[in-house]
A and B are shown apart, each in its own frame.
Chain A
Amino acid sequence: GAVVSQHPSWVICKSGTSVKIECRSLDFQATTMFWYRQFPKQSLMLMATSNEGSKATYEQGVEKDKFLINHASLTLSTLTVTSAHPEDSSFYICSAPNHRTGELFFGEGSRLTVL
C-alpha cells in the first residue's frame, strides 16, 4: 500500500476560494517533504521544500503567499492554494524521503480544477 498519501485526490473549486491539500507519510517520519506541480502532458516542477518546524523553502518563481505550505508534524505537510484561479488548475504531487532507509516516496497526486 501507499506509504505517502495525499488528500484529496480530486478537488474542484470556484475561482477566488482557497484549497488545502494534505500530504501524509504513513509509516515513517519525514522532516522534509517536497511539493511538485505538473501541468497536463508536462513534467514535474519542484515548487517548494516543506520543513518540519520551520519555514518552507520555495523555488524561484513560486509565490509564497499564493502557495502556503505548513509542515505541522513529522508526518503531515499541507499545501494551501490561496485565492485560486483557473491558471492554478494542475496536478500537485508531494514526495517524502524516509531518511532511515534513504528511499523517496511519492503521493498519489491531487488534481485541482478551478472554475
Chain B
Amino acid sequence: AQSVTQLGSHVSVSEGALVLLRCNYSSSVPPYLFWYVQYPNQGLQLLLKYTTGATLVKGINGFEAEFKKSETSFHLTKPSAHMSDAAEYFCAVRPLKGAQKLVFGQGTRLTINP
C-alpha cells in the first residue's frame, strides 16, 4: 500500500526566503508523485507531478521538486517565497499502473512573513 508523509504540518518563512516542503513516500511499485496547492475553501490545484523521466520537475509559480528514489522523497522547493504562496500544500502518490486514486499526505500549511 502507498502512503505519504509530509514532515511539518506548518512551515513559516520570510518573504524572499527559500521554501522547502518535505514529502516522503512509501510504495511497493514505482509511483507517480504530485504536489497540489489548496487555498482556503477551494479545491486543489496541481503544482507539478513526476511520472517518468527527468527527476527534477518544474511546476507553476516557480516551484520545483526532485524525485529521489534512494531517499523515497519528493521535496518541494521555491527559491524565493512570495506572499501569494501562503496556502496549504499536499503531496500525493499513486501507483504507476493503478487507477487515478491518489493517496494524500497530511498537508503542510505554508505561512509567509512580510
CB-CB contacts of A39-69 with B at 8 A, as 1s and 0s? 0011111100100000000000000000000
Alpha-carbon distance between A98 and B37 when the two chains are bound, in angstroms: 20
Q: Do A104 and B102 form a contact, CB below 8 Å, given A43-B90, A93-B44?
A: yes
Q: Decide: A108 and B90 in contact? CB cutoff 8 A.
A: no
Distance, CA A45 to CA B109, complexed state (A): 17
**B100, A32: Cβ atoms closer than 8 Å:** yes
Bound-state CA distance A45–B90 (Å) is: 12
Q: How many cross-chain pairs have Cβ atoms below 8 Å apart between A and B?
A: 48
The 0/1 profile, CB within 8 Å of A marked 1, for residues 83-114 of chain B is 00000001000000001111111110100000
Chain B contacts for A108, CB-based, 8 A: 42-43
Which of chain B's residues has its CB closest to A107's CB?
B43
Question: Which residue of B has the minimal Cβ distance to A6?
Answer: B43
User: 6 closest pairs, A vs B, by CB?
Assistant: A97-B100, A106-B44, A106-B43, A108-B43, A109-B43, A43-B104
Contacts of A45 in B (CB 8 A): 104
- Complex formed: what's the CA distance from A95 to B41 in Å? 16
Min CB distance, B37 to chain A, in Å?
11
Interface residues on B, range: 10 to 19
Residues of A within 8 A of B (CB): 4, 6, 9, 32, 34, 41-46, 49, 91, 93, 95, 97, 104, 106-109, 111
Alpha-carbon distance between A91 and B46 when the two chains are bound, in angstroms = 18
Contacting residues, chain A, for B106 (C-beta < 8 A): 42-43
In the bound complex, residues from chain B placing their C-beta under 8 Å from that of A95 are: 44, 100, 102
Complex contact B107–A32 (CB within 8 A): no
Are A32 and B99 CB-contacts (below 8 A) given A44-B90, A93-B44, A111-B41? yes
Q: Are the CB atoms of A49 and B102 closer together than 8 Å? A: no
Q: Are A93 and B43 in contact (CB under 8 A)?
A: yes
* B99 partner residues in chain A, CB cutoff 8 A: 32, 49
Residue of B nearest to A4 (CB): B43
Assembled-state Cα–Cα distance A95/B106 (Å): 18
